A and B are shown apart, each in its own frame.
Chain A
């Protein structure tokens, strides 16, 4: 698989603060790449350098094997932090400017406006938009050039739950079209739901990079509860096929041993005369991996 972008020893220092320190990563084509890290870990600075708005202190990066030419950026749709548009211009005029910048003057503006649900408000001035609409216009602008790569930095910041779900759907759709998405977030849940690859940054350093699912894929974690949780606890205590069991917010979190299936667990509980009211299987959570990694580095 080819890489869309690789960095070599990329660093950004502000005086004694190392915002990004000696970062070397490769982002494979067609991946949904999650860039994780607590606030201030250097995610946005890294993306800023990749987009030529922050000058690296040291190191290099290369898009499409073609270094940092502006033509590369014309093929990248990007949103960094808050959306930035001309407030006195309409959605259409703002998009026209971007189409000109990206050298695609004939771009289909209506299509992206419809896709992001802004078509009816396309002639309204940007300053009259709500935060959600501003975010969606940013997304529309990122989609405009039919980009090879999309860079989204905290794309769901400030959105309501419906907006978050919409963005998530949109990201999955775009990824389904074979595009590469680089998603920076401190919301692990978000990354776990949409990403294929991830990297973890902390205080500017790369702690880990890999596939989201690669960590012990055959190991199941099951979350379950019943109306009578005390009884359920007794039954689960006697269940042989588990590795670990804990109670978290009235739900039992069970790690199953290699050969045990969820069906066997469910059957076991049923045979002991209890009906489960909640049963969710999940992969080992990114959150636990992430916290492990960050704690290890301290």
Chain B
């Protein structure tokens, strides 16, 4: 395990693309965590309907316990930046022929996948940890009277975020391995995320089936929280069923990844 970690670490530590994308991801997450207040203020000033509905000063988006749900939901949209790096990493191994060379040098194909899963998990865990720390700091500063139960309540959204990002990055790994070419893989990834799956979802009228679509189910781990500020009912917890669906998808992705690599001639 530490051998595979070291191998992956040497590969990324002097890779400029990795550091640029990591900084970009962290920067935008930070922006999300800090800029929500401004956003609400501009809405309440410019948006007529919004102004009458709520009193902006009393929207506690950055207060415990709401903050965990709010920031994990919004940060969930930023996982695509990490997915870009995962796709670059795997497609480069193919186009540089280094995947083949690694196997020739004495790595098994399963070990190679394990090293990429280590990368995926480190990206997801790093992102979740950063979100947790910044969320904690901002929450502590924003909450008038922070209590421990309030801090803990809803903090389960952080592990849900971790699971969400992990699942999405494994999906990116599968796409990269399948498509092989960097640009094409990214294009297909975004096409699927932004157009293909949403269009399929529009055609399905039964919500129970719709929620079984891969990316939709990954997104469903964290439901949109903001409705509650407009006095709508929202799901403010992660359900067992939704978690299981995502875990099943992770298993399916992993199975396909291993199958794909085992069957393939590395030429």
Which A residues fall within an 8 A CB radius of B? 48, 51-55, 70-76, 78, 80, 82, 84-90, 93, 96-98, 100-103, 105, 141
Contacts and interface: CB of A to CB of B under 8 A. Distances in A.
Contacts of A103: 3, 106
A153 to B, nearest CB: 11
A54 B105 CA distance: 14
B103 interface: yes
B49 interface: no
Contact of B104 (A73, A85, A88, A105): A73
Interface of B: 3, 6-7, 10-11, 14-16, 92, 96-98, 100-108, 111, 263, 265-267
26 contacts: A48-B266, A52-B103, A53-B104, A53-B265, A53-B267, A55-B263, A55-B265, A70-B106, A70-B111, A71-B106, A73-B106, A74-B105, A75-B106, A78-B104, A80-B104, A84-B97, A84-B100, A85-B101, A86-B11, A86-B96, A89-B14, A97-B11, A98-B105, A100-B10, A102-B105, A141-B105
Contacts of B263: 55
A87 B92 CA distance: 10
A72 B102 CA distance: 14
A13 to B, nearest CB: 12
A88 B266 CA distance: 22
Contacts of A53: 100, 103-104, 265-267
Nearest to A88: B15
Nearest to B102: A101
Contact of B107 (A76, A78, A87, A101): A101
A76 B3 CA distance: 19
A136 to B, nearest CB: 16
A101 B105 contact: yes
A101 B98 CA distance: 12
Contacts of A48: 265-267
A102 B111 CA distance: 12
A125 to B, nearest CB: 9
A54 B11 contact: no
B267 A54 contact: yes
B203 to A, nearest CB: 38
A164 B6 CA distance: 35
B6 to A, nearest CB: 5
Contacts of B6: 100, 105
Given A54-B267, A74-B105, A101-B105, 17 more contacts: A51-B103, A53-B103, A53-B265, A53-B266, A80-B100, A82-B97, A84-B98, A84-B101, A86-B96, A86-B98, A89-B10, A93-B14, A97-B7, A100-B3, A100-B6, A100-B7, A100-B10
A202 B102 CA distance: 29
Contacts of A87: 96
Contacts of A70: 106-108, 111
A54 B96 CA distance: 17
B112 to A, nearest CB: 10
Contacts of B111: 70
A97 B6 CA distance: 8
Contact of A102 (B16, B106, B267): B106
A75 B100 CA distance: 16
- The 8 closest A-B CB pairs, nearest first, are A74-B106, A84-B97, A84-B101, A53-B266, A73-B106, A70-B108, A51-B104, A101-B105
